[in-house]
Amino acid sequence: MTATDLLAELPYLLLATVVLVAGVTTALFSILKAKDRTLLYLGLFAGVYGARLLVINGIFGFAVGIPAEVSEWCSAVMTYAILIPGGLFVRVLIGPGWKNLITWVVATQIVFAPVAIVWAVAAREPWAPDFVNNTIVITSTLLAGGLILYRYRGRGREWLVICFLVFFATVFMANLQIEVYGYDPEPLGFLVLLIALGALAAERALERERRLKNVEYELETARRIQNSILPRSLPSIRGLAMAARYEPMTEVAGDFYDFLVLDDRRLTILVADVSGHGVPAALIASMLKVAFGAQNDCASDPAEVLTRMNAILHGRLERQFVTAACAHIDLVERTVKYAGAGHPPSLLWKSRTGELLDLAENGLFLGPFPNAVYKNVSHPIEAADLILFYTDGLVEGTSSDGQPFGNDRLRSFVRANPGQDPLIFVDRLLQTALLGVREDDVTLVLAKVDEDRLRL
């Protein structure tokens, strides 16, 4: 290779190195930090193009000692393969396009690349599929460029139009084998395109970051709302020992519990579960607090409490709904009165007989049905009786053997531990039920008739 040849190849070597390093850096940044597929595909697209320029560069080949035939084959393979990350980048950047047009183009590129390589190997000619490849490249470039320009049209985008026009011109010139002062113009056009696409990808990444910050702010607001609606402490009821646990699956959840205290011997408990998770469920939970808090005048009648709450919530939940368990505990009359709204049955442990009863009087979900009817069921209670309220996330949790905790194991646990202090009881129950994968939020409220307090 003469000095003149080396001098002519030097600009391409520098350009190839810049594009390759930029591509690899962008892809690694996406994988390790940004987690953005746009940057990943752009980096792969640029990296493959830079590597292709490098392997066909005379200076690189001379320095490394790559045979010309090997360089030619490497260049051909990368020429066919580069369509894949390029198409995927456009697909992520602007979406599937009209009637999934971009998706079909990407699928064509994914199929064509291995077919072209096999075709070339079978023909023993690296550029055997070149005509088909050029047709796909030109068609894809025009289509993708047009859609990108349409998507990002508007004032201040003149630079984008200019960059694409430069790239289009160099691609056509390269495919028609037109040189400019003896140089192939396509690499320069690709560099211009890379700058434009990089700017769009960076803009998209910044917009994504801004949206994430907005979502985080909304989540933080929802967390504050949720923390404010849950009871800060358990009510003090003479003759009743209580414990409660709230374990959200996500940072913002839809489980809810609250108390209405009528006096020092009577209270009403509500445990509810809003369908779904996240901010919408938490906001509905805040509505529940308001609706439940307005039921003081009928708090001794759980069925009426649920009926009134259903009337308040109807038409306000869109496609969501609420399940609820409501119980009035009267330590003067020594009774528990219970009504449910599509909720898992609460459990009543009778200490004197050893029976474990389901409090299973259930009506329809709260919210969707304006004329839902709820009924009460009443049971006597005495010293050491235990009442457990919970949401379905408890029985849906995975225990140590990888199987759902389930209703049978819950009942076995209650039978085996009725004498435990309420705080120890709920902690051990959660530890037993939630050793594996959690499917939902979990809320527990335990009320135990305390013999010593009952005598006060």
CA trace torsion 100, 101, 102, 104 (10° rounding): 90
Residues 6+ apart with CB under 8 A from 455: none
The span from the CA of 278 to the CA of 430, in Å, is 22
> pLDDT per residue over 53-83, tens digit each?
899 887 888 788 888 889 999 999 999 999 8
Report which of 78, 71, 74 is spatially closest to residue 46, judged by C-alpha positions. 78
> pLDDT per residue over 321-337, tens digit each?
999 999 999 999 999 99
Residue 263 clears pLDDT 80, i.e. is over it = yes
Q: Is the pTM of this model over 0.75?
A: no
Task: Write the burial class of residue 194 (CB in 10 Å: 0-12 exposed, 13-18 middle, 19+ buried).
Answer: buried
Q: What is the pLDDT of residue 77?
A: 94
Determine contact, residues 200/152, Cβ cutoff 8 Å: yes
Domain boundaries defined on the chain: 3-213, 233-454
Residue 446 clears pLDDT 70, i.e. is over it = yes
> pLDDT per residue over 362-395, tens digit each?
899 999 999 999 999 999 999 999 999 999 888 8
Average pLDDT of the segment spanning 442-453: 86
The mean pLDDT value of the chain amounts to 86
Q: What is the pLDDT of residue 439?
A: 67
Confidence of residue 455 (pLDDT cuts 50, 70, 90): low
Average pLDDT of the segment spanning 421-442: 84
* Least confident window among 174-188, 259-273, 318-332: 174-188
Give 365-411 as a DSSP string.
Answer: PBTT-TT-----EEEE--TT-EEEEE-THHHHSB-TTSSB-HHHHHH
Counting every residue, how long is the chain?
456
The angle formed by the CA atoms of residues 139, 92 and 151, to the nearest 5 degrees, is: 70
Residues 6+ apart with CB under 8 A from 128: 119, 120
The span from the CA of 81 to the CA of 103, in Å, is 17
Determine contact, residues 369/359, Cβ cutoff 8 Å: no
The interaxial angle of helices 186-229 and 83-94, nearest 10 deg, is 40
Indicate the class that CATH gives domain 233-454: alpha beta
Q: What is the pLDDT of residue 432?
A: 86
Q: What is the pLDDT of residue 251?
A: 61
Q: What is the pLDDT of residue 178?
A: 80
